[in-house]
A and B are shown apart, each in its own frame.
Chain A
Amino acid sequence: MHDLRALMVQIELFRGLTEAQIDKLVAISQREVYPANATILNHNMPGDNLYIIVSGEVAVLKRGAAGQFYPALYLGEGQIFGEVALLDQGTRSAAITAVQADTVVYALGRQAFDALCQSDLALGFHVMRNLALDLAFKLRHRNYDMSGDV
């Protein structure tokens, strides 16, 4: 638990949390390891988990007009994915594959995550604020990518 907590302290999603609050999140997290090119999430499928990349790298694959998938973004250590479906309860907006061998992620399930946020409102506030900041960062990245202007 302590090694994992030390790792999680470095994750942006958990910034502002106490060690006890991080322990609560770690307790409801599931560790998953993927080989290179393995599919982690399928496009357009129901989604209940948010994922945190602890090591390795993933590709976010969008579906083109002709139905082919193409990489729309690469995400490295410390980044999160799956947050859109976790928040809006819609289907997955992209597919996710591991780029590097032994890519390690931690999955947070919606039901346990929501229950934890409701039982510890301070934890919920920090995590939701960090989630919003992450979405703002991704939006700025996307806007810059499209227009060349921040």
Chain B
Amino acid sequence: MIYKVSYVVLGGGHPGSIKTQTDQPRVGDRVRLGPNEFEIVEVQRMMPERDDLQFLHATVKPLTQPETS
């Protein structure tokens, strides 16, 4: 299975990211988006899957201080 994931940061302050990955994102996982590291706090299905491709939304919280614009 392949996972296309929309990562949105809790509370804003970071633009988030879109990644395609083979590892299923799960609550508690750590992920690097740009220069910062985050922890996944929620995962939802975003769109119906197509064949072996799942479309997911993951909400994350910062583990390091996000860069400000």
Contact = CB atoms under 8 A, between A and B. Distances in A.
Interface stretch (A27-35, A43-51, A76-84): A76-84
B17 A74 contact: yes
Interface in B31-69: 33-35, 44, 46-47, 50-51, 53, 55, 57, 67, 69
A73 B35 contact: no
Interface string A62-93: 00100010111111111100000000000000
Given A59-B34, A73-B17, A15 B53 contact: yes
A1 B53 CA distance: 25
A140 B33 contact: no
Nearest to A75: B18
Interface of B is mostly: strand
Interface of A is mostly: mixed
Nearest to B34: A74
B69 A64 contact: yes
Q: Bin chain A's interface residue count.
A: 20 to 34
Contacts of B24: none
Contacts of B69: 64, 68, 70-71
Interface of B: 2, 4, 6, 8, 15-21, 33-35, 44, 46-47, 50-51, 53, 55, 57, 67, 69
Interface of A: 10, 12, 15, 57, 59-60, 64, 68, 70-79, 99, 133, 136-138, 140-141, 144-145, 150
